[in-house]
Chain A
């Protein structure tokens, strides 16, 4: 059973051919740890019995030395 957007693949159309300069930016898979943290995303298996907010706070503190200074989470369990 699937949610409306699950496994939804968008077809990509090209308007023209164009190269990208390898000196700037980086494909997501080539990012360094620091960059991966800055644009990072974690699917946390939250332990039962603690609030989402607490779990996000713990995760942030764990990764603070690696440069994580903002940690956001999506939704509470109830909504």
Chain B
């Protein structure tokens, strides 16, 4: 589960872009033919229609969700352990229920574990609450920051997957105040189209803010001025970089 502290909390909404991976345990209400089961799993790959469960936080109407992949890991009688990669907003409990209906025997979910959120995965530095407590203890009582450093990831590592622009030092402070980013401020950039969510970065690689592109990369390369990115949420504190003063 990704946790974000203080200023980093503002990037949480974009983490939902990349989809999720789960390992789930399905309990069939009676045994079915293995080949039929595998075929049914394959039927539920790609775009599916799903009705959110009764107890959910969204409006209850059919919506399309994409299942990127699914793989059966183990079959033990009525229990099926499987791994599934899905679009954000897919209900796994519901997916299992629907597969049960398709198999005509019924099924429900008995266990669920999320193994990836967008680009973050279990392979990265997983931290337990106990690890965290130990890390804070060592830091406060023994002045040893090694454990704490290991627990704390950077906000930048969580947004690897976003397209980015890297901007001049002088352009940083206005962005911290919420001003849009103009073309001359951009020093480096990755490929993106109009209307994409963009990470606005310093040349040192710090995340300043998230914004939406008004121009595409190709357009930015050809024009000399104008607004390139509209600033949405600012992460960096005001005053990190010097205030911009117009020299005339």
Contacts and interface: CB of A to CB of B under 8 A. Distances in A.
Contacts of B114: 75, 77
Interface residues of B, number: 87
Nearest to A64: B136
A42 to B, nearest CB: 4
8 contacts: A3-B116, A15-B187, A25-B204, A36-B154, A39-B235, A43-B124, A43-B153, A72-B12
B188 A44 contact: no
Contacts, number: 244
A25 B204 CA distance: 8
A8 B136 contact: no
Interface in A39-54: 39-47, 52
Interface residues of A, number: 60
Contact of A5 (B90, B118, B140, B187): B118
Nearest to B148: A33
Given A15-B221, A42-B2, A71-B5, A77 B128 contact: no
A71 to B, nearest CB: 6
A59 B132 contact: yes
7 A-B pairs with the lowest CB-CB distances in the bound complex, closest first: A72-B9, A10-B190, A20-B203, A5-B18, A5-B161, A40-B5, A28-B154
Contact of B4 (A13, A28, A72): A72
B64 to A, nearest CB: 15
A44 B18 contact: no
A24 B6 contact: no
Contact of B117 (A10, A45, A75): A75
Contacts of A26: 204, 206
Interface of A: 1-8, 10-16, 18-21, 24-29, 31, 33, 36-47, 52, 55-56, 58-59, 62-63, 65-75, 77-79
Contacts of B139: 33, 66
B19 interface: yes
A42 B127 contact: yes
